[in-house]
Structure 1
Amino acid sequence: MIPIFDAHIHLDQYSDEELHQFFSRDLVTLKGMISVSFNLASCKRNLELSHKYSPLVKCAFGYHPEQTLPSDSEMADLLNWMHRHLDDMTAVGEVGLPYYLRQKNPQLNRDHYAEILEEFIKAAVLWDKPIVLHAVYDDAPFVCDLLEKHNISRAHFHWFKGDPVTTERMARNGYYVSITPDVLYEREIQKLAASYPIQQLMVETDGPWPFEGPFTGQMTHSIMIHQSLSAIAEVKQLTIESVYSLIYKNSLRFYSVSESCYEQQKKDL
């Protein structure tokens, strides 16, 4: 019965049938989730879902970097819409740099994506919102530069992968990282979970992204977090109770979510 919080999921990317299956499960331990956005249409869908599944679903609005750049008018429309929905926005995200897209297309100019990212960083400062980042490997130090330039401290690097020097830099700056279910079978993620300060850890699923190992063939669901937390406790050599409690409180604190909003009886989903 210990509560869990999914710090990063793409709820809008699930089909209606999958959403029905998702919310038909026993969700008594799941107290909240941050559903991040790809673009304006995705933002609008997440807003609908946050209303339908309140108070469980919180929104992050932004433009995912692993896609074609938005036009100037698309970017303006998105930022204007986000500004009009500040009260519905828990965070800015998912934003960042297109690492995987550049692996497929090495000629892709990262500078243009960096300009878009900096616009979102400035908006996060202006609106006093945390920011959810897609920044892995070689992109992470550059993103740290931008965050430091704008004195950002409330930064969440989701499913982070990077070198030890950058990882230590992120920890010193107070940035948070979230651990995915592949902590059960990926050595790289296990090492990150073991080394990163427990006070700056969260857990996520990044659903509907599918996982392997014990999750092969399963629809990604937030309750997978229970197994993630057990794995984190093992690699950190901490009690499972302390890991559950600390990481849940980290999530509420980082996203400025009041635990009281979950005390009401959940709707019959």
Structure 2
Amino acid sequence: MVTDIHCHSDQVSADNIAKFIADGGKIGSVSMTLKSAIQVLALKQQYPDAIELFLGIHPEVAADEAMIEAVIALIHQHHRLLSGIGEIGIPFFYLDDKTALQKQLLKQQGAQLMARFVAIAADYNLPVNLHVVEDDIELALPILNQYGVGGALFHWYEGSLSHLTQLHQQGHFISVSPWIFVDDHYWQFVQAIPFSMMLVESDAPCKYNGKIGDPSMIVDIIAAVANYHQISVEQLTLILADNTRRYLRK
């Protein structure tokens, strides 16, 4: 069984979700806003055994306190349905036009929001599904350590080899996206990820070379990684399934 561990399923067509699940797949369904949290919660109720539900607020969303409190209330109300907390993390991409001082302030504010959700994850003993880019692990790791949350998923992470080693030594996971088929630098980084910390994701409906992302794309990721390391698809699928169970604490 394969799991797309990071997918915005509220933005994926119902037919594609149904087909992927019918073919034996599972989906780690993350939320970004209150609206998407409600939508992925409904999807979990529709596919209780095939959806791994994560609730959170994306760090690049302009969320006011009312939205934050509403999503937190949903988490408390439905915590028994949750597989984890996410998508949460540190803002990065929308800061391109900001000054260095503005970036520092916004990242600090993002870290404070991340900490609120990590604290909830710790209370319910749930894993976290993180949006943390490059050197921002230096902001994220102290938060995880503060609340004793191990085995975090750094989705679509790419950074230095020293940071990769740091994440590996601390027992965290990294999910590989279809971006391996688009960007050679990312593909080279993925080649260095130890099998023991690897998961796979579509981040659907993110586009790859103009093609809308879909959970079925993880099949091609597994084939490419297996081919590079000269192991069978079946063997890698088993490794990923075991990693997924460990990450979800099952």
The verdict on a shared fold, with TM-score over 0.5 as the criterion, is: yes
**Contact 1:179–1:189 at 8 Å: present in 2 too?**
no
Q: Which amino acid aligns with 1:197?
A: P
Is residue 209 of structure 1 aligned with residue 206 of structure 2?
yes
Is residue 58 of structure 1 aligned with residue 52 of structure 2?
yes
**Contact 1:193–1:236 at 8 Å: present in 2 too?**
no
Work out which of the residue numbers 3, 6, 11 in structure 2 matches 1:5.
3
Query: Which moved further from structure 2: 55-64 or 73-82?
Result: 73-82
Is residue 46 of structure 1 aligned with residue 44 of structure 2?
no
Work out which of the residue numbers 122, 125, 129 in structure 1 matches 2:126.
129
TM-aligned CA deviation for residue 169 of structure 1: 0.4
Q: Which amino acid aligns with 2:51?
A: V
Partner Cα distance (1:207, 1:26) in 2: 13
Partner Cα distance (1:186, 1:159) in 2: 12
Partner Cα distance (2:29, 2:246) in 1: 17
User: Which runs of at least 4 in structure 1 moved beyond 6 Å after TM superposition?
Assistant: none
TM-score for both structures, normalised by structure 2: 0.91
Please list the CA deviations of residues 4-47 of structure 1 after superposition, one character each: whole Å capped at 9, or x if unmatched: 11011000123xxx223x14546554331110001222111101
Unaligned 5+ runs, structure 1: 258-269
Label 1:40 to 1:146 Cα distance change in 2 as closer, same or farther (>3 A). Answer: same
Partner Cα distance (2:161, 2:231) in 1: 22
Unaligned 5+ runs, structure 2: none
**Contact 1:95–1:117 at 8 Å: present in 2 too?**
yes
Partner Cα distance (1:24, 1:53) in 2: 9
**Contact 2:21–2:50 at 8 Å: present in 1 too?**
no
Please list the CA deviations of residues 226-251 of structure 1 after superposition, one character each: whole Å capped at 9, or x if unmatched: 11001111233333221111012211
Alignment of 1:52-131 (within 5 A): 52-68=46-62, 70-106=63-99, 107-108=102-103, 109-131=106-128
Root mean square deviation, CA, Å? 1.8
Is residue 164 of structure 1 aligned with residue 161 of structure 2?
yes
Identity %: 22
Partner Cα distance (2:56, 2:219) in 1: 28
Partner Cα distance (2:244, 2:173) in 1: 9
TM-score for both structures, normalised by structure 1: 0.85
Label 1:8 to 1:221 Cα distance change in 2 as closer, same or farther (>3 A). Answer: same
| Matched position secondary structure for 1:98 | coil
| Matched position secondary structure for 1:226 | helix
Query: Which moved further from structure 2: 46-55 or 23-32?
Result: 23-32
| Matched position secondary structure for 1:104 | coil
Please list the CA deviations of residues 47-106 of structure 1 after superposition, one character each: whole Å capped at 9, or x if unmatched: 1011123322221000000122x3333322221221111011110000001110111334
Label 1:245 to 1:110 Cα distance change in 2 as closer, same or farther (>3 A). Answer: same
Query: Which moved further from structure 2: 5-14 or 108-117?
Result: 108-117
